[in-house]
Structure formats: structure tokens, C-alpha cells
Chains A and B, each alone.
Chain A
């Protein structure tokens, strides 16, 4: 997909393979189940306090982002690391390619990082002749399959073990059975060789601690440690939104993240990395580079409602609980970040001209906001972005067709005048007659067929007002007057219609 292609969610939905909803639901319901257990142990009151603390820490950091990023830069440098600033994807790719080129890198290993996915780093490295391998099991699988991630923390959630076995057999030239343990063993053997052979390790980070210049990397597979310690060179590409003030903050956020993501009290590995190897260290890279990625994030900060999108700690629970995500999987969102958070992040990073469909890909049920560990008001942000698409705001101009704007204007006028409204209701009862079957409207013409293709519509039957009015003598009089008013409106419209028809005939 080119960077300017419009994400057509509806078209993408048509191409979701039939097994996807079931595979996705199986995994997400498992995660939600384990989450319920570990959150239950914390207790609701304490959990709500933690969520609020997480929200406050993240918002405070965003409000003082320049200060904390400057502190971070100073402390990374003090620890012997080199900091680079990348305004956009292009700049970030160039920085990493330059470092690779300077060190004559032939092979790179990567630990899961959404930011490098966001900037399309793999393609750039491979095009430049650097053999680049994903080492997170899920990422490793989707790299073999040649597709992007479909979940924030379980990127291959859309695949079945049978599909993965076929993929391994085809791409790795081994006889892979559809057994998770054996598939893991195959991947592990392949990856071990690569960790030792690589010239460069690339990672992201879950958090960056400003007070010490430390990267925090949370993984369950240990590949994060391998990537950041075995190769002689470590390059981390991290969004500027990932900075937090201090270890106190990390303490709170690490209570929220694994519980929300996978239902673990703690993930298997939590690595704290401060600069490259020191003289006293037994291992670790000789050189450490940190690429701080903006790529639209400072623009997100400009709107006081939508800026809370950047509170996200990438736990993915909003995907797990979202009924829409569970029915379509991640690829339908056509962007690196999927689900509810993707529906608010992608239109802001990519612009509404490209990703303006996504804020509408939600029933606004609000489950995401109920579960979000840092209390991002996702439904409110969805509404704000819908407004940006339809009417425009101070960040971007509207992209909706003028038909939609005219349509809503006419609709709003009709629905603000009670006589027109009652007239419309009566008209609908009349107009529907030929389509009515047994109290239902099973087949409506376009655009209303978008409703009836899935289920019939109950027939229009507004008779409550007159029923209620007729219960009193004054009301009965009112019904007569109302009938007269609506009759006059009918007559007026008929007269105008007849006049226009007569004129058209004359022409």
C-alpha cells in the first residue's frame, strides 16, 4: 500500500479470511479471562486507583514532554548512548540505515517494535542489503507470511497452528507439524543462530525513563534481551510518547501493562537497559543508539481531546474487548495499529484523508474505555475525529463528501421542526405501504438496503402522539388542528409539485 492510499475499511472487511474471527476470538477471550483473574486479585478499588495513577502519570508527561525528552537525552548521553531525533518515517529510516552502513552491518535481528513497523524499517534495511530478521515469535511468523501485524501484542493472532505449520514447511524447508511446542522449537533453533550471527540488534521500548536514560523492554520470549545484548551494536527506535519521568512511574505502569495485555502479573522478562556495555559489564553491545521518533506525534498533541491518544501503553486490551475487532481482525484496519486504539491513532498519524474511515468503524459501545488501563476516553476521541472528517477542525479540513454535509443539513432541519417531523413520520407510513410485509420492511431500496441486507426493518408506525392527545378533550381539539396543519402542508407540497411539473412540461 502506498502512503497515500485511502484505507477502505469496508472493502478490507470483505477480504477477511473466513477463519479469522474465530481464531481472533479464541485468543482474545483467553487473554480477557486471565486478565479478569489478575485484576480480580488486585481488587476493583485498587485497580481503579492504579488506572487513575497511570492516566495521571502519562498525561503529566505529555504536558511536559519537552522537559522529559531533554532530560532523557542528557541521561542517555551520560550513560554513553547516542541520541538521534527523527521528525518523520523517512528521517528515521535514514538514521538507522546510516548507522548500519557505517558499521558495515550485514545481518540484523529485531525485537518487536511497533515504531519500526510504523516507519517500514524492514523493507528499507532489506532493500539496502541488510538481512533483517524478526525474532518475536509472532513477528517471525508474519514476516515469513509477508504480512503486517494484526494485533498490538499478538501480531499473528489471526493465524491457526495448521496455517503456521504449512508456512514453516513451505518457507523454512522443514517438516513442521501443527503442534505449538514443535513449531516453537523450530523457530527457536533458527533464531538462536541468528542472534549470535547478527551485527546489529534493533528494538523498540515499552518505556523510556527520563531520570536515568533507561529503556524498559517487556517481553515473554527473552528475544528482547538477546537482540539488545548479543550483537555488538544496539539501535532502539522509540516514539517520543514513550517517555516517563522516573522509576516510580514505571512501577505503576508495569502493574497495569502485563495484567491488561496478557493477564500476567508480570511478563517473563522485563529488561532495563541504560547505555552500552560498561567496562565492568560481562556482555552487552559496544555501541547504543536511540532514535526518538515523532512521525506526527507532536501534531496529535495540538488538540486537547485527541491528545490523550498518546497516553497509550500498547497493551492491546481495547482490541481484545472490542466486538468490531473480534469480528474482523487487525488487517481490516489497514494500518500498523488496529482495533479501537488504531481507529484513533491512525487517523491522527496518517491524516483523515487516508484513515478517515476508521473512526466510523466502531459501534461506540464503549467497552474499550472501560478496560483501558490508562483511561483513554476512546469513544470521545472517536467522536472528535468523526467531527474532523465531516466538518473539519483546527487540525485538518473536512474530507467527507459534500453530499453528506448537505444531507445532514437537510436532515437536521427536518428533525428540528415538529410539523415537518410529524409530516415526515406520516409520509413514511404511507410511502412504505408497497414494501410492507406482515409488519416488517424486508427489502428497502438503497441506501436503506444497507440495513435490510442483514435484517428486516420494523414497519414505521408512529401513532402514539394522537393516541395520547385523544385522551383529553383539549388534546382531541389539538389533533384536529394538527391534522389541518399537516393537511395544508400536504396540499402546499402537492401544489408546488404540480406547478413544477406543469412548468417542466411547458419547457
Chain B
């Protein structure tokens, strides 16, 4: 039995509780042993990405304190957070130190949800049913940071009833970019609107993605114009029965 430690992520936990509950349900349906390590907060990415890199050390240290002693795989509903943990968190600690080694060990067993299912658990069909027309938005950090191009779509195509339609400029950023969206709101919003226009033109009822950051942005953009199209996390589609 595979043991999975839930890495909730800040945005996931604070804005998308239902996605996390769906995550537990999908993993348990696949027969995994799911645990939630206590004491987790934020991995430090927002500080690191906004230039306050020395301030990223404290949350990163807490991340190691919480996840270091656990065993099994650490799985998150966000490519962005996993990209940070895998590629940047170890850099925050000087080479050859105990913390650096621990960070590398933890990073090596931290996975994004679709990456974990397809590449580690070797699952494509999770036994979900979702009779709707959906399109897929590729999140930048999962795509370019983790190299996940097909995994989410493989999982989606295996869902009973799903009709996956293409999204023009699927791999173009939606304009979230964390701190970018509040430092340069005009540009961020203009990028978001371009994404929404492509989503509308796809003819889908749902736009599916794998990152809470993009979800906040795209769901908000759709809400703003009163669109009937809904933004959904991939995990929620996989949980549907």
C-alpha cells in the first residue's frame, strides 16, 4: 500500500477545501494510505519569488520539520509549489549541511498530483465519470518547471463521459504569476482576459487545470463576466462519479 502525505499548499487550503477533500477521496479510492502531517504552513515560495529570499528560509525550515520525519510520497494539488520544493527549497540551505541533505531527500519524494498518479502510481483510469465537454489549461510551473505536458490530459481522457476539446494557446500563461498579479494588475488582468476569450471560444462547459493559483485567476475572471463556464481542478473531475 502506497503511503501519501498530503501537502495542502496555502492557496489550496484557504480557497479550495473541496479540492483537497476530493484529493483524499481519489487517493483512497485507489487504495492509498493518506495522511496529513500536522504543523504544515507554506513552503516559502511567495517570499522566494518576490525577492525576499532570506525570508523564505523560515517557512522552508518549517516545511522540513513537518515533512522530514514522514515516510512515503508527498503529494500536492499544485505544480507551482512542487516546482519550488523540488528545485528551489534545497538551494535555501548551504550545501553539505544537514538541512540541505534533508531538503534534497524531501524534494525527491514530493510530487504534483497528476505526476504522482501517472509516473509513480502508474494509474491512468481512476474510475471517474464526468459527462461534460471540458478543455484543459496548462499551468506554467507544472509544464515548464516539472515537464508535465500530457499527464493531466491522459487522466482526463480516461474519465468516462469526458469530451476533451482543445484550448487555443493552451500553454500560454493565464496572468496569475503570484506577486505579479498584484504588482502589475493591469497586465495580469489583460493576460487573464485573453485566456478567458480562448476558453469561451473552445466551446467547453468546464475549464480544467492543476494549479490553485490559475484557478483563483481564471475562476475569478469567468465569474467577473458572469460566464456559465466553470473552472475546475483536475482532481475534482477525477473525484466525480
A residues near B (Cβ < 8 Å) are 9-10, 13-14, 21, 323-324, 327-328, 359-367, 369-370, 383, 386-391, 400, 404-405, 408-409, 411-413, 415-418, 421, 425, 428, 440, 447-448, 450-451, 453-465, 467-469, 478
Partner of A415, one of B59, B178, B179, B188: B59
Which B residues are CB-close (under 8 A) to A363? Answer: 140, 173, 175-178, 180-181, 188, 191
Partner of B140, one of A327, A366, A418, A462: A366
Of the stretches B43-51, B68-76, B110-118, B129-137, the one at the interface is: B43-51
Quick one: which of B137-155 are within 8 Å of A by CB? Answer: 140-141, 144-145
B interface: dominant SS: helix
Bound form: Cα–Cα A415–B52 in Å: 14
Q: Indicate if B126 sits at the interface (CB-CB under 8 A).
A: no
Taking a contact as CB atoms under 8 Å apart, the answer to whether A465 and B13 are in contact is yes
Cβ contacts B172-210/A at 8 Å (1 or 0 each):
110111111111111111111010000000000000000
Can you give 25 contacting A-B residue pairs, CB < 8 Å? A323-B172, A327-B191, A363-B173, A363-B177, A363-B191, A364-B140, A364-B177, A386-B49, A390-B50, A391-B52, A412-B55, A415-B10, A415-B41, A415-B44, A418-B41, A451-B181, A454-B186, A455-B192, A455-B221, A456-B224, A458-B16, A462-B13, A464-B20, A464-B21, A468-B6
Quick one: which of B36-63 are within 8 Å of A by CB? Answer: 36, 38-42, 44, 46-56, 58-59, 61-62
Which B residues are CB-close (under 8 A) to A478? Answer: 38
- Total interface residues on B, using CB and 8 Å? 67
Of the stretches B98-106, B158-166, B212-220, the one at the interface is: B212-220
Partner of B216, one of A387, A388, A404, A457: A457
Taking a contact as CB atoms under 8 Å apart, the answer to whether B39 and A418 are in contact is yes
Output the nearest chain A residue to B143 by Cβ-Cβ distance. A366
User: Closest Cβ of chain B: how far from A115's Cβ, in Å?
Assistant: 29
Taking a contact as CB atoms under 8 Å apart, the answer to whether A400 and B51 are in contact is yes
Bound form: Cα–Cα A389–B41 in Å: 26
Taking a contact as CB atoms under 8 Å apart, the answer to whether A417 and B62 are in contact is yes
Bound form: Cα–Cα A116–B49 in Å: 34
Q: Indicate if B97 sits at the interface (CB-CB under 8 A).
A: no
Given the contacts A412-B59, A455-B217, A327 and B51 also touching, CB distance less than 8 Å: no
Partner of A323, one of B13, B17, B66, B191: B191
Given the contacts A323-B175, A363-B173, A366-B145, A14 and B186 also touching, CB distance less than 8 Å: yes
User: Closest Cβ of chain B: how far from A152's Cβ, in Å?
Assistant: 20
Q: Indicate if B8 sits at the interface (CB-CB under 8 A).
A: yes
Output the nearest chain A residue to B140 by Cβ-Cβ distance. A365
Bound form: Cα–Cα A451–B175 in Å: 12
Taking a contact as CB atoms under 8 Å apart, the answer to whether A447 and B140 are in contact is no
Taking a contact as CB atoms under 8 Å apart, the answer to whether A391 and B220 are in contact is no
Which A residues are CB-close (under 8 A) to B192? Answer: 454-455
Q: Indicate if B119 sits at the interface (CB-CB under 8 A).
A: no
Taking a contact as CB atoms under 8 Å apart, the answer to whether B177 and A468 are in contact is no
Given the contacts A415-B59, A418-B41, A367 and B184 also touching, CB distance less than 8 Å: no
Bound form: Cα–Cα A202–B46 in Å: 47
Which A residues are CB-close (under 8 A) to B59? Answer: 412, 415-416
B residues near A (Cβ < 8 Å) are 6, 8, 10, 13-17, 20-21, 24, 36, 38-42, 44, 46-56, 58-59, 61-62, 66, 140-141, 144-145, 171-173, 175-192, 194, 216-217, 219-221, 223-224
Given the contacts A418-B38, A454-B188, A454-B189, A370 and B49 also touching, CB distance less than 8 Å: no
Bound form: Cα–Cα A369–B143 in Å: 13
Which B residues are CB-close (under 8 A) to A454? Answer: 181, 185-186, 188-189, 192, 220-221, 224
Known A391-B52, A462-B14; 17 more pairs at CB < 8 Å: A323-B172, A327-B187, A328-B187, A361-B180, A363-B173, A365-B172, A390-B51, A415-B44, A415-B59, A454-B224, A457-B15, A458-B219, A464-B8, A464-B13, A465-B8, A465-B36, A468-B24
Partner of A412, one of B36, B38, B52, B224: B52
Taking a contact as CB atoms under 8 Å apart, the answer to whether A10 and B186 are in contact is yes
Output the nearest chain B residue to A412 by Cβ-Cβ distance. B55
Taking a contact as CB atoms under 8 Å apart, the answer to whether A391 and B14 are in contact is no
Taking a contact as CB atoms under 8 Å apart, the answer to whether B180 and A463 are in contact is no
Output the nearest chain B residue to A475 by Cβ-Cβ distance. B36
Which B residues are CB-close (under 8 A) to A386? Answer: 49-51
Bound form: Cα–Cα A167–B184 in Å: 32
Taking a contact as CB atoms under 8 Å apart, the answer to whether A455 and B16 are in contact is no
Taking a contact as CB atoms under 8 Å apart, the answer to whether B187 and A361 are in contact is yes
Taking a contact as CB atoms under 8 Å apart, the answer to whether B49 and A416 are in contact is no
Bound form: Cα–Cα A211–B167 in Å: 50
Taking a contact as CB atoms under 8 Å apart, the answer to whether B8 and A408 are in contact is no
Which A residues are CB-close (under 8 A) to B16? Answer: 458
Bound form: Cα–Cα A408–B56 in Å: 9
Output the nearest chain A residue to B189 by Cβ-Cβ distance. A454
Given the contacts A412-B47, A412-B59, A457-B216, A425 and B13 also touching, CB distance less than 8 Å: yes
Which A residues are CB-close (under 8 A) to B184? Answer: 9-10, 13, 324, 360-361
User: Closest Cβ of chain B: how far from A180's Cβ, in Å?
Assistant: 27
Which A residues are CB-close (under 8 A) to B189? Answer: 453-455
Taking a contact as CB atoms under 8 Å apart, the answer to whether B187 and A13 are in contact is yes
Partner of A455, one of B49, B56, B220: B220
Output the nearest chain B residue to A407 by Cβ-Cβ distance. B52
Interface centre among A13, A412, A417, A457 (most CB of B within 10 A): A412
Bound form: Cα–Cα A412–B55 in Å: 6
Taking a contact as CB atoms under 8 Å apart, the answer to whether B24 and A327 are in contact is no
Taking a contact as CB atoms under 8 Å apart, the answer to whether B145 and A461 are in contact is no
Taking a contact as CB atoms under 8 Å apart, the answer to whether A447 and B55 are in contact is no
User: Closest Cβ of chain B: how far from A234's Cβ, in Å?
Assistant: 42
Partner of B144, one of A10, A366, A391: A366
Bound form: Cα–Cα A416–B41 in Å: 6
Partner of A428, one of B6, B14, B61, B191: B14
Which B residues are CB-close (under 8 A) to A448? Answer: 182
